[in-house]
Amino acid sequence: MILRLGLVAFVLSFLAFAHGQNENTSGMPSWKDEMARGFMPYTQLKVEDLPIDDKTDPGSAFNLKSFIHPRWHFLVSEKEGVVDVAVDQWMVFAGMDKNVSWRKSAFKQMKETLPYAQALLDINELYARQLGALKLEELPQVRSTSIVEASTELESNLTELARQKYQQMQVEQDEFTKATENGHDAKKVREKAAEIRKRLDATPRTTVPYPEPSPRTSPAR
């Protein structure tokens, strides 16, 4: 059987940006909202975290797809025809997308394969934490003469910011996959996974914890 590498669902990140909060909304999303859509917080994987699916992609043993969902709230100020737009709340959700993560019932080596899958999830979490660590003053701010133009430009700038972080993450995932021969080199998986875990442990958890702070409250940095 071929083990399939599940890459970060960056398309879903764009959807998250589309649902980013603006000045007219009542509050920020929560893990309750994310989990209702099938997104599981970052965790130490267990076999049962990957549901059995014998219908999807019969040529693969399992699939793991992680996600990074940046969410925000921004404020608009206008004076003498000049509009300023800036983010006042910034939250990053990250973990595993259970909608498209699965294992085959016939694949009996999932437990032995967990270190490989966990390392992929750890890489995702590492870059999500880096994104979540950005302070409000480090995020893009926009000045314009139009509220619509300013908010549109802000969203575009935030999307590009996340895209750059995603590209860095994808490069590392690809390197890990290649170095471990898609997880088949158990020794190399252990070595590389330990290095990744050490870096992750040294990185403050700035992604939204579970349970997270109340809505409209910025996560602790």
Q: Determine which of 9-13, 67-71, 82-86, 87-91 has the lowest per-residue pLDDT on average.
A: 9-13
Sign of the Cα pseudo-torsion (75, 168, 193, 14, in order): positive
- What values do phi and psi take at 171, rounded to 5? -60, -45
pLDDT at 70 over 80: yes
The DSSP call for residue 139 is S
pLDDT tens per residue across span 37-57? 999 999 999 999 999 999 999
Predicted pLDDT at 7? 31
Contacts of 90 (CB under 8 A, 6+ apart): 70, 71, 72, 132, 134, 136, 139, 218
Q: Over the stretch 190-220, which tens digit does the pLDDT of each residue have? A: 999 999 999 999 999 999 988 775 444 443 3
**0.95 exceeded by pTM:** no
Degrees to nearest 5, angle at CA 193 with 162 and 110: 100
**pLDDT tens column, 92-150:** 999 999 999 999 999 999 999 999 999 999 999 999 999 999 999 999 999 999 999 99
Q: Which of 137, 129, 64, 134 minimizes the C-alpha distance to 101?
A: 64
* Segment 55-75 mean pLDDT: 93
Q: What is the mean pLDDT of residues 9-22?
A: 34
**Do 63 and 92 contact (CB within 8 A), yes or no?**
no
Q: Which residue do the tokens 């701010």 mark?
A: 141
What integer is the mean pLDDT of 144-159?
95
Separation of alpha carbons 11 and 168, rounded Å: 16
CA distance 171 to 176: 9
